[in-house]
Amino acid sequence: MLPLTGITVVALEHAVAAPFATRQLADLGARVIKIERPGSGDFARRYDESINGQSSYFVWLNRSKESVTLDVKSPRGREILHELVGRSDVLVQNLGPGAADRLGLSAAAVRARDPRKIVLGITGWGSDGPWAGRKAYDLLAQCEAGLVSLTGSADEPARVGISVADIAAGMYGFSAVLAALYQRRLTGEGATLEVSLFEALAEWMGQPAHYTAGSGRQQPRAGARHATIAPYGPFTAGDGRTVLISIQNETEWVRFCAEFLGAPELATDPRFATNTLRVANRDALEAIVDARFAAFGAAEASALLDRAGIANAGVNTVGDFLDHPVLRERKRWRDVDTPGGAIRALLPPISLGDEEPRMDPVPAVGEHTAAVLAELGRSPGEIADLADKKII
């Protein structure tokens, strides 16, 4: 029995942030009923066609869910939606500004009917404040939070290559629901929860925010190097391959000088004796490190770094990652069914001991509509009539 077995979640969701939160709830055993548009479904289904003709986003975010198609703007569709919410423990929504209110599903309205309900709203900029009515997407949040100004090379800023604002909001939404479920067991009361893409990412900007506030300057864009720690970044070995190293403290620095650079005197060189000095004299330091790396192939350099206790990594492509020995040898891949055929998917990162997390199929659009409506007491004739009228 998984930790959330017996919990039912209704998800009025699309794109990334809310689906990421609810998929994690499903991983832990919750029943997630995903409400989709009749015919087309979640627009993330059409972001790309890269995996058996399906969207890579959708198959990543929506396994183990039940898809129910419903025209929630129609009176009969809205009635069914309210029935489903009434039978659920948790409502999650990331609709546009004001949409949940128009459906009669504001947190206040839902919890007035049942104070035990847990309602999570994921917004772009917050449900109040000066930007409450503005649209928000991941890259917009990255830009407004200052993340894009930190990412990229000295010559050009860049977005983070994954939907980091959406993922941050989904993670905080997931953890908030878990906390609210625990609180409800103690008090009997539900909760009104909210997380925004912008404020989730603002939390992740804590270190550069403190750095700028304290120093009066912004840390520079440094490509694959660390902006405020040195040596911490990529170096080219003699065979042309790249090895990234990370020196985190003075003990490691002393060991790196003695055992990898073969120059223990560098540890106390006035240019490099502290991290602040090493960052200030980064060009001179990296010239020394570059010359040493050129004397080894990447595998030889990595082995020597390992013996010295210095953290290092290859700079992999996504293709390299897909065949990574850690994932392979730890048996982290599972087959998951989708409407386009089976795919490989990674287990969730949380280990549940002897319990396997849920890895059920990715649903087709509306695959579970008839079964869920039958649970609500709708007859086959009523279900057929709703389909004829394009309400489902």
Direct distance between the N- and C-terminal alpha carbons of the chain, in angstroms, rounded to an integer: 32
Q: Around Cβ 60, how many Cβ atoms within 10 Å? A: 18
CB within 8 A of 107, min separation 6: which ones?
Answer: 100, 119, 121, 192, 193, 194
226 catalytic residue (yes or no): yes
Distance between CA atoms of residues 233 and 242, nearest Å: 10
Any idea what the Cα angle at residue 260 is, between residues 254 and 265, rounded to 5°? 45
Active-site choice (210, 226, 324, 368): 226
**Distance of alpha carbon 188 from alpha carbon 194, whole angstroms:** 20
Q: Which residues of 212-240 are buried (b: 16+ CB within 10 A; e: fewer)?
A: eeeeeeebebbeebbbbbbbbbebebeee
Q: Which helix (H) or strand (E) holds 236?
A: strand 232-236
How do strand 31-36 and strand 8-12 relate by DSSP bridges? parallel
Q: How many CB atoms lie within 10 A of CB 186?
A: 7
Helix (H, G, I), strand (E, B) or coil at 213: helix
Q: DSSP letter at 256?
A: I
Q: Which one, of 22, 15, 24, lies nearest residue 357 by Cα?
A: 24
Q: What phi, psi does 70 have (nearest 5°)? A: -160, 130
Residue pair 189/181 in contact (Cβ under 8 Å)? The answer is no
d(CA 194, CA 187): 20
> What is the distance between the alpha carbons of residues 14 and 90, in angstroms, rounded to a whole number?
17
Active site residues: 226
